[in-house]
Amino acid sequence: MKKDKKKDNDLTIIFRHLIPELRPYTWRILGSLSITGLVIGADLFQPYCFKWLLDAATVTEKYPVILQCLLLLLGLAFVRTLFSYWEIYTRSRVGEAISAQYRRKTFEHVLHLPLATLHDMEESAFEHRIMHDCGEIGRVYVSSKFLPTIANIIQTMALTLLILVLSWQVGLVSILVFPIGWLISQRMARRSHTQVMQQRTLVEQGHAMLQEIFSCIREVRAVGNEAGEIRRWDNWLHRYGSVICRTTTQHQFVRLTLTHLIHWIGLCIVFGWGGWQLLQHQLTVGSLLALSLYIQQLYTTLTSILSGRIETGEVANSLEALAAVFRLPREWPDQGEHTRKEGPGKLEFAQVSFSYKNGAEKIQNISFTSDPEQMSGIVGPTGSGKSTLMNLCMRFYEPTSGKIFLDGQDIAEIAPHALRQQIGLVSQDIQLWNTTIRENLVYGLHCDVTWEHVLEVCQRTCVHEFVQRLPEGYETVVGSRGIKLSGGEKQRIALARTLLRNPTILLLDEATSALDSLTETAIMKTLLQEWGKKNRILVAHRLATVQEADQIIVIENGKIVEMDAPQILCHQNGLYAKLYHTQQLVTQKR
């Protein structure tokens, strides 16, 4: 995902992108912080109890006070434990709610991105945004860093005040350590931002690689390249390992150094100065103990603030990555008319040209009309642009020039959502959901259909024929992407699924290529007779599939080279006749 050239400071990124998103959770955050306030209160009270206890033992020598202080401390410990549980719970709830809000928003946005945008991206990138980055923001950052940091800042201020009250000289000197720590952490935060970026890129590459290997597992097995893939994976592991090792070492080093160094320096100051004040009888033993406990607490909160500061790089990266996703323009509902009255389904291409991003023109100046009740066949050599034409009809891509009209209306003025309710596409690459055949058949149906109607369509598309032989019939689970079905079975389900939506225009892109001739003939008969009122456009390599078509459009290198009825074209000396005779020859030889 592209990033802006000018880099913002990570705190600026957090303020710009995260804070506005927290607004709906203001009350929940305030509730969580109030509980944190109770925990802080208990922490602040504890050293004072010890001071009273020690002063009672060394100065006033009152044993009952010691017992009272001990009871108070034990009570405080139990109450604090309860408050802490409640605090962690409310904080996690806020964090999870924010993650869920980001996940919902990102998922919804990605679902509405144009196909062209989705195809340009690494498939796993969006998955990573939704699963990792959204979790990073809410669960990791807000619940365990952002809210604790606010609490730590409040606690730091209270502690500073208490220390100053107990001994202002010790207080002032011990606070001086903070600016030094802040400077170190600012520097580390900048470096960490870059390292986190490297880490993120590597993680995404790893995800993409795994996804690719597992989706191509048949090919890996077929060519026996398991060793090659293991080498590729090892290579990634090696690169990832060294980046993680470097980042973790630096993080841990800074965190430990800050924690130990600051603690030690702080304690030396307290006991050095405090000891001297004790000798001068300006401080009691109880006050010295309370001071040292407060200083310990102060430095613990300070180091949490500082290490939290170093780790802001990670969440800033996630926020920036999500902001980049949100900047990608949506396909719908911003464009075109949302609802549309159904027409007869006349489709007209008027001088349409198209090129994929930064590429040569794959469709050049194409004009043709396909009328209702007509069957048009599109044929041509592989790579000539037939599927691209289908994609343009569906508005998966926009023509670079020219227009496509549906019943006289430019499809650029119709919202893709409304357009696609009228056009049914069965594409070459059939995707089935990993669920039952029944659920696959009715997937995405907007209108109510009876099971009898589903069965009727299944019979016409020869689905019923193979499903009834399956032990679990329509309740058979088809596996991931329909892996448990044959290519022809998948095609039949896809065809039935499209016909159930009852579109006005049917686009069949090699939709029967995997069927045996008998099944294909039966389905073509249905298309000709039962669905004869629809505008049907068939892309086919096998010319027998389109021999009953009213017109054939022959495409070569993105241009229409011939267009007429098949009976006429096969007697001309063009590309269609050449393809036709070659296929006949091959069939005769067999």
Ligand X SMILES: Nc1ncnc2c1ncn2[C@@H]1O[C@H](COP(=O)(O)OP(=O)(O)OP(=O)(O)O)[C@@H](O)[C@H]1O
Q: Where would I find the beta strands (DSSP E) of 488-572?
A: 505-509, 535-539, 551-556, 559-564
Instruction: Please select the residue that binds ligand X; options are 3, 104, 119, 221, rule is CB under 6 A.
Output: 119
The CB-of-363 to ligand X minimum distance in angstroms stands at 8
Question: Which range in 248-256, 307-315, 322-330, 380-388 contacts ligand X by CB under 6 A?
Answer: 380-388
Stretch that binds ligand X, among 76-84, 217-225, 382-390, 471-479 (CB under 6 A): 382-390
Nearest 5°: CA angle at 137, between 136 and 141?
A: 85
| By the rule CB under 6 A, 545 interacts with ligand X | no
Q: How far is the CB of 115 from ligand X (least distance, A)?
A: 8
Cβ of residue 578: shortest distance to ligand X, in angstroms? 16
Minimum distance from residue 561 beta carbon to ligand X (Å): 13
CA dist 30 and 100 (Å) reads 19
Identify which of 82, 84, 77 has the alpha carbon closest to the alpha carbon of residue 49. Answer: 77
Provide the total of helices (H) and of strands (E) in the chain, helices listed first.
Answer: 23, 10
How many residues form the binding site for ligand X (CB under 6 A)?
Answer: 12
228 binds ligand X (CB under 6 A): no
Which token pair is 53? 């206890």
Region binding ligand X by CB under 6 A among candidate stretches 161-169, 234-242, 356-364, 529-537:
356-364
Comparing CB distances to ligand X, the nearer of 288 and 389 is: 389
Element holding 372 (H helix, E strand): none
Cα–Cα distances in angstroms (integers) from residue 143 to residues 29, 268, 396, in the given order: 10, 34, 40
104 binds ligand X (CB under 6 A): no
What distance in Å separates the CA atoms of residue 164 and residue 385, rounded to the nearest whole number?
Answer: 79
Considering the complex, state which of residue 313 and residue 385 has its C-beta at the smaller distance from ligand X: 385
384 contacts ligand X (rule: CB under 6 A): yes
Site membership for ligand X, residue 382 (CB under 6 A)? yes
383 binds ligand X per the rule CB under 6 A: yes
- Nearer to ligand X among residue 284 and residue 365 (C-beta): 365
- Strand (E) or helix (H) holding 348: strand 347-355
362 makes contact with ligand X (CB under 6 A): yes
Written as one letter, the residue type at 134 is C
Name which position in 103, 386, 460, 497 contacts ligand X (CB under 6 A): 386
The one segment of 251-259, 378-386, 474-482, 545-553 that binds ligand X by CB under 6 A? 378-386
Residue 387 as a binder of ligand X (CB under 6 A): the answer is yes
The yes or no reply on residue 167 touching ligand X (CB under 6 A) is no
Q: Which of 388, 427, 461, 504 binds ligand X (CB under 6 A)?
A: 388
Q: For residue 358, state whether it binds ligand X (rule: CB under 6 A).
A: no
**Sign (positive or negative) of CA dihedral 413, 417, 422, 424:** positive
Q: Which is nearer to ligand X, 192 or 387 (CB)?
A: 387
507: its two tokens:
């686009």
Output the DSSP codes for 377-440. EEE-STTSSHHHHHHHHTTSS--SEEEEEETTEEGGGB-HHHHHHHEEEE-SS----SSBHHHH
Query: Please, what is the minimum distance in Å from the beta carbon of residue 378 to ligand X?
Result: 8
Dist. CA 180–CA 178, nearest whole Å: 5
Instruction: Write down the least CB distance from residue 393 to ligand X, Å.
Output: 12
Instruction: Give yes or no for residue 399 binding ligand X (CB under 6 A).
Output: no
**Residue 356 interacting with ligand X (CB under 6 A):** yes
* 3-class SS letters over 323-346: HHHHHCCCCCCCCCECCCCCCCCC
Q: Which residues bind ligand X (CB under 6 A)?
A: 119, 356, 359, 362, 380, 382-388
